[in-house]
Amino acid sequence: MGESATRTVEIDVHHITRVEGHGNIVVRASDGTIEQVEWQVPEAPRFFEAMVLDQTWDHIQTIVSRICGICSVTHSLASLKAIEDAMSIPISDQTRRLRTLLHYGEFVESHVLHVGYLAAPDLLGKPSVVPLLETHPDLVKTIVRVHRFGNEIMDWLGGRRTHPVTVKPGGFSKLPRAAELLDFKQRFEDIVPDLVTIAEAIASVADRFPDFQRETEYIGLVEEGEYPFYEGQIGSTDVDEIVPVQEFERVANEYVSPQSTAKWTKWHRDSYAVGALARFNLNADNLLPLAAKTAADLGLEKGCVNPYMNNAAQVVEVVQAVEDGLRIIEELLTEGIAPETPEVEPTAGEGVGSVEAPRGILFHRYAFDESGSCVKANICIPTNQNHANIQKDFEELVPGYLDQGEDELRFMMEMLVRSYDPCISCSTHYLEVEFV
């Protein structure tokens, strides 16, 4: 094949569902000249914001937990924190710890699913996880076991496997018993060898992560001495300034891109990234020992600007979540679970809640009137914060791979998107079938 033939590509990964759009990848190049490189996100408008308007404060969490089937805990926690901020509702240390544990359950299940179902097939040269079962059955079974473990934490503390029902403004409607804590302490200990197995499997193929570097601003929660998921203020790898979460709009700077109906964001550069790699770059110094060792084994170092390594950072975070989760359970066992019931008198006010979602920092802002009805809602999701960054990655990636031909370029671009695992088209899961 002549050079001009390989340097002319036409890629259009175009998928539209009837309700919400998927991300489309478009590349047009002719005779080595790139004419168009676009990450198009025809996402539906953010209708959940409209849906919570006029709803009372005690119904918000139930609704927003349905925004995403994978991140229902994170949306729940961000909404509760925003309501508590708006109405000055105090929460106990016990509630904070239990929420963090529940949150870890979601991180474990989401990250291991991402690594196992999207990244591992790419790294091991398989089209999906099902053929991986034939070649790497033990690895897939280990991944399923860890995913189930994360799911069981959510079932235990959230009252359900997804869309938790026990978390309320001010606390929990149902508290765990000491025997359950003891049981889960054992389970946390027992799952560690499985985490090591997964980390070793990914480390053994880590050289297959594409070697692509692009200087990037990374943004996430920071908290002195912590690797935070549930609490903190906003930090950036570009500046020392720490921004209170209440001022998140100053960081996110949402704007409309002509190629997307989802809002894009930027702060000190044309784009920024959120997610596991962002958190790692901001907080790696505060990892617990096994998580730090896992990072070293994976060749992941603070300052990494290879977006494909987000998956390696996710493996590190699963270990961190289990190590820290075990510490929290031990504290709760030592101190005992105190009976407490959330009691809230709604007041007028406005507040912000921010937590780290598996895919990056998440912000919820609500305002309430005197009766506790929601009069304003703004939800800024991590996927939207990553869109501009995916576009900028594409612009730098494509010229380097133009000579490799359409198939390789398309694979590289899809793998890049998969490393971010954008949360699109996830509030509906209906079947679409034909009969055979």
Partner 1 sequence: MQGPAPILVAGIGNPFMGDEGVGPAVVETFRGSWEGSPLVETVEAGTGGMALLYIMEGRQAAILVDCARMGEAPGTVRRFTPEEARSSKDLPGISLHEGDLLDLVELGRELGMLPPRLVILGIEPSWIGPGGSLSPVVREALPSCVGCLVEEVGAALEALDPAAD
List contacts with partner 1 (CB under 8 A).
13, 15-19, 22-23, 44, 47-48, 50-51, 63, 66, 68-70, 72, 109-110, 113-114, 117-118, 127-130, 133, 140-141, 144, 147-148, 151-152, 160-163, 414, 417-418, 421-436
- Residue 290's contacts (CB-CB under 8 Å, 6 or more residues apart) are 192, 319, 323
CB atoms within 10 A of CB 190: 11
Q: How far apart are CA 66 and CA 75, in angstroms?
A: 8
CB atoms within 10 A of CB 153: 26
Minimum CB–partner distance for residue 358 and partner 1 (Å): 10
Task: Show the tokens assigned to 294.
Answer: 């896992």
Is 129 or 274 the residue whose CB approaches partner 1 more closely?
Answer: 129
Is 144 or 192 the residue whose CB approaches partner 1 more closely?
Answer: 144
Minimum CB–partner distance for residue 160 and partner 1 (Å): 8
Task: Show the tokens assigned to 300.
Answer: 């992941």
Is 342 or 422 the residue whose CB approaches partner 1 more closely?
Answer: 422
Minimum CB–partner distance for residue 24 and partner 1 (Å): 8
Q: Give the closest residue to 105 by CA, choosing from 145, 133, 47, 147.
A: 147
Using DSSP's 3-state secondary structure scheme, residue 372 falls into coil
Minimum CB–partner distance for residue 151 and partner 1 (Å): 5
Q: Give the closest residue to 364 by CA, choosing from 5, 161, 15, 65.
A: 65
Minimum CB–partner distance for residue 231 and partner 1 (Å): 26
Is 222 or 390 the residue whose CB approaches partner 1 more closely?
Answer: 390
Minimum CB–partner distance for residue 81 and partner 1 (Å): 21
Is 179 or 431 the residue whose CB approaches partner 1 more closely?
Answer: 431
Task: Show the tokens assigned to 215.
Answer: 């200087």
Is 283 or 310 the residue whose CB approaches partner 1 more closely?
Answer: 310
Q: How far apart are CA 434 and CA 12, in angstroms?
A: 25
Task: Show the tokens assigned to 419.
Answer: 């490393």
Is 4 or 428 the residue whose CB approaches partner 1 more closely?
Answer: 428
| Dihedral sign (CA 271, 277, 278, 284) | negative
Is 19 or 182 the residue whose CB approaches partner 1 more closely?
Answer: 19
**Burial class of residue 109 (count of CB atoms within 10 Å of its CB; 0-12, 13-18, 19+):** buried
- Residue 7's contacts (CB-CB under 8 Å, 6 or more residues apart) are 29, 31, 32, 402, 403
Minimum CB–partner distance for residue 346 and partner 1 (Å): 22
User: Angle, nearest 10°, between helix axes 178-204 and 310-335?
Assistant: 160
Minimum CB–partner distance for residue 309 and partner 1 (Å): 18
Backbone dihedral region of 69: left (phi > 0), alpha (psi from -120 to 50 degrees) or beta?
A: alpha
Is 251 or 309 the residue whose CB approaches partner 1 more closely?
Answer: 309
Minimum CB–partner distance for residue 62 and partner 1 (Å): 9
CB atoms within 10 A of CB 116: 22
Task: Show the tokens assigned to 309.
Answer: 């390594």
Total count of residues recorded for the chain: 436
